[in-house]
Amino acid sequence: MSPADRAKQFMPFAALKGYEEALREKEIEIEEKMKNELGERYGEDFSSFD
């Protein structure tokens, strides 16, 4: 077996297609929610903290 073929066996792969993207979207959603709640609570605009 060539070294390149052998290396392919150990390459990372995504077991769940789209999982990373879905996780990032949820993270952004939660960040936006927290910014809004903090802004309401403290009367400030936190939208510049991106």
Number of domains present in the structure of the chain = 1
- Residues 22-43: what's their mean pLDDT? 90
What residue numbers bound the domain in which 22 lies?
13-50
Handedness of CA 45, 39, 49, 17 (dihedral sign): negative
- Residues 22-48: what's their mean pLDDT? 85
8 assigned to some structural domain: no
Banded pLDDT at 16 (limits 50, 70, 90)? confident
d(CA 10, CA 8): 5
18 assigned to some structural domain: yes
Chain mean pLDDT for the chain: 84
7 assigned to some structural domain: no
- Residues 5-23: what's their mean pLDDT? 86
6 assigned to some structural domain: no
Amino acid at 5: D
39 assigned to some structural domain: yes
32's enclosing H/E stretch is helix 19-42
Check whether 50 has a pLDDT greater than 60: no
